[in-house]
Amino acid sequence: MKIYPFALFIVVLFSCKQPTKTHSTASTLTQLSPAELHKTPFQSHLDGSKRHYYVYLPKGYRSNDSFQWPVMMFLHGNGERGDGNEQLDFVMTHGPLYEAWIQKRDLPFIMVVPQLPMFGMDQNTASYLSKRQEGSFPKRLDKGTPKRFAPFETNTTMEGNPSNDDFPYEGPGPILGWEKIEKDLLFLLDSVRQHYRTDPSKYYLTGLSYGGFGTWYMASKHPTLFAAISPVVGWGHPDLMDSIAAHQIPVWAFAGGRDGTIKPEYFYSGLNKLESLGHRNVRFTNHEDMNHDAWTRIYGGQDLYNWMLTHKKDSTQ
């Protein structure tokens, strides 16, 4: 595989090209530098294809040449897959990048936001992928912010469910998930670490639905990377918990009580396994009134971001 020179200021994996799309904001109220969003090219380890990912730089990043910033990697859900090129903007549909860039919230993280390939799922899966309209992702407005999405409709009552060990998936979760591009995720994190001012003790991982499963998987396989993790509407299989417990990675998991897609009853076995292994920092919040889109409340609030920033990696790791 060819290695190309690194381009100044732009995180590039095996390429020296400038980002093909760079967004910036105007700062009129303070002297802090504006937030930036960089569409950054790289060559995938999976098949050698050229893809892109987003690097979000928070407001103030350019204002202080010595400050080291926390880093958050966000793994999206199944409906936001794409080619990593023309379809990359779908990763802004939900989650922290939607909050920071589309809703213009001041979230103090460098964000690393890749896109999971289709792997043919747009040909033989749910209509939300096969019938997705190009350009239907949310867009940042010059003035103001767009209206937020309406919550998912639900006809179920709030009842609660006992733990269920009869998992519909084994190991990392549903098929063709984030484990397929594990090497890409590691390389992107390493690239950001090398070329941006990051705090090595404050690397965080979160994801929703498919990305929640990916969060559990990546933390299990690479437990020394992250200061804290937050899987949202994606449960973790008990087989993944040993290394997470051994390294005492703080966990805050979330479920939607009315979620018929990723049911909360499957969360308990993995979380109980963590506690049985002596994990001392496990949180689980079940938004009993919410459907699968519980992520709208979770990422739309402030508690998760504040919680992440209270955690730092052990300096010995």
- The pLDDT tens digits for 78-136 are 999 999 999 999 999 999 999 999 999 999 999 999 999 999 988 866 666 666 677 77
Type of residue found at 254 = F
Give me the phi and psi of 77, to 5 degrees please.
Answer: -95, -175
- Quickly tell me which residue has 């919230």 as its tokens: 105
Q: Which of 310, 97, 50 is nearest to 211 (CA)?
A: 97
What's this model's pTM, rounded to 2 decimal places? 0.83
Here the tokens at position 39 are 């569409």
Q: Which residues contact 273 (CB under 8 A, 6 or more apart)?
A: 238, 241, 245
Q: What is the pLDDT of residue 160?
A: 76
Residue 30: pLDDT over 60: no
Least confident of 11-15, 120-124, 263-267, 292-296: 11-15
Q: What is the pLDDT of residue 125?
A: 62
Residue 285: pLDDT over 90: yes
Give the chain's largest Cα–Cα span: 57
- The pLDDT tens digits for 195-224 are 999 999 999 999 999 999 999 999 999 999
Alpha-carbon distances, residue 317 vs 9, 71, 245, 313 (angstroms): 28, 17, 14, 7
Residue 4: pLDDT over 90: no
153 pLDDT band (50/70/90 cuts)?
confident
Type of residue found at 291 = N
- The pLDDT tens digits for 233-244 are 999 999 999 999
Q: What is the pLDDT of residue 212?
A: 98
Residue 141: pLDDT over 80: yes
CA separation for the pair 144, 285 (Å, rounded) = 32
Q: What is the pLDDT of residue 130?
A: 67
Residue 9: pLDDT over 70: no
Q: Mean pLDDT throughout 149-160?
A: 72
Type of residue found at 211 = G
Helix-, strand-, coil-residue percentages of the chain, each rounded to 5: 30, 20, 50
Give the single-character DSSP code of 90: G
Task: Show the domains of the chain with their CATH numbers.
Answer: 21-119+167-309 (3.40.50.1820)
Length of the chain: 317
Residue 286: pLDDT over 80: yes
Residue 62: pLDDT over 60: yes
Q: What is the pLDDT of residue 103?
A: 98
158 pLDDT band (50/70/90 cuts)?
low
Whether residue 203 contacts residue 189, with contact meaning beta carbons closer than 8 Å, is answered with yes
Whether residue 137 contacts residue 90, with contact meaning beta carbons closer than 8 Å, is answered with yes
3-state secondary structure of 247: coil
Give the single-character DSSP code of 67: P
51 pLDDT band (50/70/90 cuts)?
very high
Q: What is the pLDDT of residue 133?
A: 75
Residue-averaged pLDDT of the chain:
89
Q: Which residues pair with 55 in a beta bridge?
A: 38, 112
